[in-house]
Amino acid sequence: MSGVEAQFRLQLDRFVLDAALHAPSAKITALFGPSGSGKTTILRCIAGLERAHGNLTVDGEVWQDDKHFRPTHQRPIGYVFQEPSLFAHLSVRENLLYGWKRVPVAQRLVTVDGVVEWLGLRQLLDRRDPSALSGGEKQRVAIGRALLTSPRLLLMDEPLAALDNASKTAILAALQRLQRELALPVLYVSHALDEVARLADHVVLLEAGRVVAEGPLHATLARLDLPTAELEDTLSVLDATVAEHDDTYHQTRLSCAGGGLWVSRVQAPIGTSVRARVRAHDVALATEPPHQTSVSNVLSGRIVDLRDGDADAVLVRIDLDGAALLARITKRSRDRLKLHEGQAILAMVKSVAVLA
Partner 1 sequence: MLLPLDADDASALWLTLRLASVVTVLLLAIATPLAWWLAYTRSTSARVVSALVALPLVLPPTVLGFYLLLVLGPHGAVGRVTQALHLGTLPFSFAGLVVGSMIFSLPFAVQPLHNAFVAVGRRQLEVAASLRAGPIDRFLSVAVPLARPGFLTAAILVFAHTMGEFGVVLMLGGNIPGQTRVLSVAMYNHVEAMDYTAAHALAAIMVVGSFVLLLGLRAMGDRRHEERP
Contact between 99 and partner 1 per CB under 8 A? yes
Cα 92 from Cα 98, distance rounded (Å)? 10
Q: Does 108 bind partner 1 (CB under 8 A)?
A: no
Q: How far is the CB of 99 from partner 1 (least distance, A)?
A: 3
69: helix, coil or strand?
strand
For residue 46, which phi and psi values (nearest 5 degrees)?
-65, -35
| Interface pattern 111-130 for partner 1 (x via CB under 8 A) | ----------------xxx-
**For residue 159, which of 62, 149, 170, 108 has the smallest C-alpha distance?**
170
CA dihedral 173, 174, 176, 182 (to 10 degrees): 170
Among 103, 161, 192, 295, binds partner 1 (CB under 8 A): 103
Residue 175 touches partner 1, criterion: CB under 8 A? no
149 in contact with partner 1 (CB under 8 A): yes
Nearer to partner 1, 129 or 341 (CB): 129
Under DSSP, is residue 166 helix (H, G, I), strand (E, B) or coil? helix
Does 159 interact with partner 1 (rule: CB under 8 A)? no
Among 34, 36, 60, 71, binds partner 1 (CB under 8 A): 71
Decide: is 93 part of the binding site for partner 1 (CB under 8 A).
no
Segment interacting with partner 1 (CB under 8 A) among 84-92, 272-280, 329-337, 342-350: 84-92
Taking CB atoms within 8 Å and a gap of at least 24, the contacts of 159-168 are: 159/80, 159/81, 159/82, 160/192, 160/195, 161/82, 161/192, 162/82, 162/83, 162/135, 163/135, 163/136, 163/139, 164/135, 164/136, 166/136, 167/134, 167/135, 167/136, 167/139, 168/195
Q: Which stretch binds partner 1 (CB under 8 A): 80-88, 108-116, 178-186, 196-204?
A: 80-88
Size of the site for partner 1 (CB under 8 A): 27
| Four-residue CA torsion sign, 44, 119, 161, 132 | positive
Contact between 51 and partner 1 per CB under 8 A: no
Min CB(149)–partner 1 separation in Å: 6
Nearest residue to 133 via CA among 183, 180, 104, 90: 90
Shortest Cβ 112–partner 1 spacing (Å): 14
> Which SS3 state, helix, strand or coil, does residue 148 take?
coil
**What is the rounded CA–CA span in Å between residue 298 and residue 348?**
5
Secondary structure class of 111 (helix, strand, coil): coil
**Given 16, 26, 49, 243, the residue binding partner 1 (CB under 8 A):** 49
Q: Give the range of 16-24, 65-73, 313-321, 331-339 binding partner 1 by CB under 8 A.
A: 65-73
Catalog residues that contact partner 1 under the rule CB under 8 A: 47-49, 71-74, 77-79, 81, 83, 85, 87-89, 98-99, 102-103, 127-129, 132, 145-146, 149
